[in-house]
Amino acid sequence: MDDAHIIFDNVRMAFGDREVLRGLSCGFPREKISVILGGSGSGKTTVLRLIGGLVHPQSGRIIVAGDDISRLSETQMYQVREKLGMMFQGGALLDSLTIFDNLAMPLREHMNMTEAEIAAEVHQQLTAVGLSDVDDLLPGQLSGGMIKRAALARAIITKPEILLCDEPFSGLDPISVKRIEALLQRINRHLRITMLISSHHIPSTMRLADMVVLLRPDGVVCGSPAELHGSPDPHIAGFFNEEVDEAIAAEAAPAAFFPATSRWVHA
């Protein structure tokens, strides 16, 4: 794909005997929002961790912003990571640091900025995600939605080209979900960041995604939400029509539901 910012080329990933990806090939378009959907344990977090170079595939290539990261040394990988913002499931903020210090940390580590400049930047990002008067609070003193917003602010504070968000909607009430959605959309449009979001949340996916990668036990399907919604396969279309327990739905779907059309790639 010409405009792909991240490319998976026949990536195989296994943990011991547990094969998670069996040759995943897909491109994630530049400056667009891609959503990775799939049941629990289908490999959504693993896809994001592969891009960050936190785990390494058994075979295949992963190209991030033009670099084949499977060939890079740890030092070279460090430079690629500077292009990435990561908002990881659960572990995004350090519990022992205040919200201010959590946001300031990547600036202190990676940017040549004075403390006054850092404070201004932290407050600008907190305001952008709708948080105020939280400088001295610890993550444990924030609500779930506020933690997600703080984590998002932290992930974008170094102005990455690519933002990886692992389950930004999990555990949130519908209003907080909409709020995070709006934030992600605004960040995508204004900062022109390429986004990869892993999610179980189908209504959000339908609203947000330019592209969807659906990880299923028997294969992977990629396409726009409209393409998947309009799929002639009732089980694919049905997946997008209602919010189902994907893990159960995925287990229940027999291989016959995955016809070998050009949009289907076996993983």
Q: Which is nearer to Mg ion, 44 or 154 (CB)?
A: 44
Task: Yes or no: say if 13 and 59 are a contact pair by the CB < 8 Å rule.
Answer: no
* Shortest Å, Cβ 46 to ligand ATP: 3
Query: Mask: binding to ligand ATP, 74-113, rule CB under 6 A, as x and -?
Result: ---------------x------------------------
* Bridge partners for 196 per DSSP: 34, 164
* Bridge partners for 62 per DSSP: 8
Instruction: Count the Cβ atoms, other than its own, within 10 Å of residue 230.
Output: 12
> Would you count residue 125 as binding Mg ion (CB under 5 A)?
no
Which of 199, 194, 186 is closest to 210 using CA atoms?
A: 194
Q: Where are the beta strands (DSSP E) in 131-229?
A: 162-166, 194-199, 211-216, 219-223
Q: Which stretch binds ligand ATP (CB under 6 A): 39-47, 68-76, 91-99, 179-187?
A: 39-47
Q: Which stretch binds ligand ATP (CB under 6 A): 36-44, 184-192, 232-240, 259-267?
A: 36-44
Task: Yes or no: say if 103 and 93 are a contact pair by the CB < 8 Å rule.
Answer: no
Q: Which two tokens stand for residue 35?
A: 């959503």
> What does 40 interact with, of Mg ion, ligand ATP, none (CB < 5 to 8 A by kind)?
ligand ATP
Q: Is 249 helix (H, G, I), strand (E, B) or coil?
A: helix
Q: Which of 5, 44, 148, 154 binds ligand ATP (CB under 6 A)?
A: 44
Q: Which is nearer to ligand ATP, 27 or 38 (CB)?
A: 38
What distance in Å separates the CA atoms of residue 73 and residue 57, rounded to the nearest whole number? 15
Q: Which stretch binds ligand ATP (CB under 6 A): 38-46, 77-85, 173-181, 216-224?
A: 38-46
Q: Which of 34, 42, 45, 194 binds Mg ion (CB under 5 A)?
A: 45
Q: How many residues bind ligand ATP (CB under 6 A)?
A: 12
Q: How many CA atoms lie within 13 A of 36 on its CB side?
A: 24
Q: Which stretch binds ligand ATP (CB under 6 A): 15-23, 122-130, 172-180, 235-243?
A: 15-23
> Would you count residue 58 as binding ligand ATP (CB under 6 A)?
no
